[in-house]
Amino acid sequence: MPRAFRIPMVSALVPSAIVGAFAVAMLGVAGCAHRSTPVPAVPSAGPVTQYEMDPIKITAVAGPDGTHVEAFDAAELFEQAGKALSDKRFDDAIAAYDRVLKEFPEGRYVRASLYNVGLAYQGKKDWEGAIARFKALTDGYPDSSDAKDAAFQLGSTYAEINNWPASVQVLARTLERKDLSSDDRLEALARRGFAQFQLKDLDTAERTLRSAVAFFHQKEAEERFETDFYLALAMYHIGEIAHERFRAVPLRLPEKQMGIDLEAKAHLLLASQRQYIDTIKLGNPGWASASGFQIASLYEELYDAFIHAPVPPDLLRPDAREKLDIYYEEVRKKIRVLLEKSVRTHQENLAMMERLGVQNEWRDRSKLAYAKIQRLLDPSYRPAFVPDTAARESAVPAGAPPIPEAPASRSGGTTEPPAPMREDEDRGPKPHPVEGPTRQIM
C-alpha cells in the first residue's frame, strides 16, 4: 500500500530584506561562538510578493523492481488526462481526471476535470457516467460558467438515452441563468422545443420553437450568431409539428366528411411545406437535406392516405367487384400527380446534396424513396388497395428519423469528441441534441 505525503500549498510572504538579515545572522554564528555579533537593524519590509503553488504529492510505490518514489502535481495529471482525451483514450482520461479529483479535491482543476471527465464518458457512450459528472459540476458550482456549459452537456446526454423529461427540465433551468449569451439562449430554446417534440407535446413544443425563431429575429440586427444550426433546428421542427398533425388527420366517409378531412389535410400539408422550404432557404446543408426529404414525403403520404381511404360501402359487395376495380383505377389516375411531385422533389433534393457534398442518411433515404416511387409510377404496377386504418397508419415510416450533427465547435458526445476544457478556459464545447436521420441533432 503506497504511502502518500502531501506537501501543503505554499502561500508565502518573503520580503527580500528578511532573507538578507537571516543570512548575516547565520554568518555571525558560524564565525565566533564565544562573543555576540551585532545584528544589523532590519529595515522595514518592502513590497510583498505572494506566490501560490499547486500542492505536490510524493508517493512511495512498490513495484517488481522494488520501491520507488513518485512525485506529481495537479497540473501534470491534468495535462496527461487532456492528452488522453484528445487521443480518444477515454478510459485513460477517466482514470487521470478521477485521480486529479481524488488527490486534489480543493485544487483549481476540479471544475475543468469534472467537465472533461464527463466528455470522456460521452466519448465511450457511458451516458450514465457522463450524467453523474456533469451533475456534480452543475450542483457543486451552480454559478460558474463551467456549470453553464455542463448544463448544456447534461441536457444533451439525457437526450442520448431518450430521457426527454429530464432534458426538458435541465434546459428550463438553464434558460433561467443570467449569464447566457444570445447563442446560448437560442440553443437552449431550440433544444428544449426539440425535447418537447419528442415527448409528443406538440402545442408546447411549437410555442417553444416559435419563441426561439422570434428571439433570433429580435437579435439578428444587433449581433451575429455563431451558427444557423439551432435556428434551422427550430424551423424544421415547426414544420415537423404540422407534418405530424397532417398524418393524424383521417379521411372518412360519408363524402361530405371526406371533403372536410381532405381540406384540413391539405391545409396542414401546405403549412408544413412552407416551413420546410423556409428551412432550406437558410442554407444549412444538414437541415436543408432533411427538409427536402420531408417535402417529398408529404406528397407520398397524401397519396398513401388516398390509397387506404375508405370506399363507399356499396362497392364492397361481392357482386360489385368490377365497379371496385374501376373505382381504384380512377383514384390512381387522379392522384398520380402526387407521386410525380414527390419523385421530382427527391430528384431536386439529391441534386442539391450532390452540389453541397452532403453525405448523410437523408441522402440514402432519398435514394431509396426515389426508387420506390419510380416503381409506383410504372404503368404496369398495381398497388394493393387496403381501405383500413391499420394499413394507412403502417404507411407512416416507423422510428425517429436521423438528425443533422450540431456544429463541431459547440458539440459534445459526437463521433468526434470535443476538445477537453483547459484549466484557464471560461467556456467548454457545447452539446448537440441527439442524432436522428442527431443520430439525434437532434
Highest mean pLDDT among 1-15, 56-70, 142-156: 142-156
| CB atoms inside a 10 Å sphere around CB 406 | 30
User: Among 221, 157, 318, which Cα is nearest to 149's?
Assistant: 157
Among the residue ranges 50-59, 318-327, 394-403, the one predicted with the least confidence is 394-403
Asked whether the predicted pLDDT for residue 165 surpasses 60, the reply is yes
Query: What's residue 353's pLDDT?
Result: 96
- Cα distance between the two ends of the chain: 48
Residues in the chain: 442
Among the residue ranges 115-119, 135-139, 168-172, 436-440, the one predicted with the least confidence is 436-440
User: How far, in Å, CA of 348 to CA of 187, rounded?
Assistant: 30
Find the mean pLDDT for residues 374-398: 60
Kindly state whether residues 343 and 432 are assigned to the same domain: no
* 65 part of a folded domain: no
Between the CA of residue 390 and those of 177, 286, 309, what are the distances in Å? 47, 33, 11
Query: What's residue 11's pLDDT?
Result: 34
* 181 part of a folded domain: yes
Kindly state whether residues 164 and 219 are assigned to the same domain: yes
Asked whether the predicted pLDDT for residue 357 surpasses 80, the reply is yes
* 40 part of a folded domain: yes
Which residues fall within 8 angstroms of residue 83, CB to CB, at 6 or more apart? none
CB 387 within 8 A of CB 310: yes
Kindly state whether residues 35 and 90 are assigned to the same domain: no
Find the mean pLDDT for residues 183-201: 98
**At 428, phi and psi to the nearest 5?**
-115, 180
Asked whether the predicted pLDDT for residue 82 surpasses 60, the reply is yes
Query: What's residue 407's pLDDT?
Result: 75
**At 222, phi and psi to the nearest 5?**
-95, -35
Among the residue ranges 174-178, 363-367, 384-388, the one predicted with the least confidence is 384-388
Kindly state whether residues 168 and 203 are assigned to the same domain: yes
Highest mean pLDDT among 8-17, 21-30, 293-302: 293-302
Find the mean pLDDT for residues 407-432: 44
User: How far, in Å, CA of 221 to CA of 198, rounded?
Assistant: 32
pLDDT digits (tens, 9 = 90+) for 294-327: 999 999 999 999 999 999 999 999 999 999 999 9
Burial (CB count <10 Å: 0-12, 13-18, 19+), residue 353 = buried
Question: Which residue reads 422550404 in cell numbers?
Answer: 277
* 248 part of a folded domain: no
Kindly state whether residues 268 and 323 are assigned to the same domain: yes
User: Among 155, 80, 87, 142, which Cα is nearest to 113's?
Assistant: 80
For the record, the C-alpha cell of 170 comes out as: 435541465
User: How far, in Å, CA of 65 to CA of 44, rounded?
Assistant: 54
* 37 part of a folded domain: yes
* 235 part of a folded domain: no
Determine the structural domain holding residue 290 and report its residue range. Answer: 258-406
Kindly state whether residues 81 and 211 are assigned to the same domain: yes
User: How far, in Å, CA of 407 to CA of 167, rounded?
Assistant: 20
Burial (CB count <10 Å: 0-12, 13-18, 19+), residue 132 = middle
Q: What is the DSSP code (8-state) at residue 244?
A: H
Kindly state whether residues 87 and 175 are assigned to the same domain: yes
Find the mean pLDDT for residues 407-420: 45
Query: What's residue 43's pLDDT?
Result: 46
Indicate the average pLDDT of the chain: 81
CA 163 from chain center: how many Å?
Answer: 13
Asked whether the predicted pLDDT for residue 402 surpasses 80, the reply is no
Cα atoms in the 13 Å half-sphere on the side-chain side of 442: 27
Question: Which residue reads 518573503 in cell numbers?
Answer: 14
User: Among 335, 334, 327, 329, which Cα is nearest to 310's?
Assistant: 327
Alpha helices, H only, 175-228: 182-198, 202-219
pLDDT tier at 408, thresholds 50, 70, 90 = low
Pairing mode, strands 3-7 and 56-63: antiparallel
**At 35, phi and psi to the nearest 5?**
-140, 155
Between the CA of residue 288 and those of 158, 197, 356, what are the distances in Å? 26, 19, 10
CATH number of the domain where residue 421 is located: 1.25.40.10
Q: What is the DSSP code (8-state) at residue 435?
A: B
Find the mean pLDDT for residues 260-285: 97
Kindly state whether residues 36 and 132 are assigned to the same domain: no
Find the mean pLDDT for residues 256-277: 98
CB 175 within 8 A of CB 187: no
pLDDT digits (tens, 9 = 90+) for 193-219: 999 999 999 999 999 999 999 999 999
* 316 part of a folded domain: yes
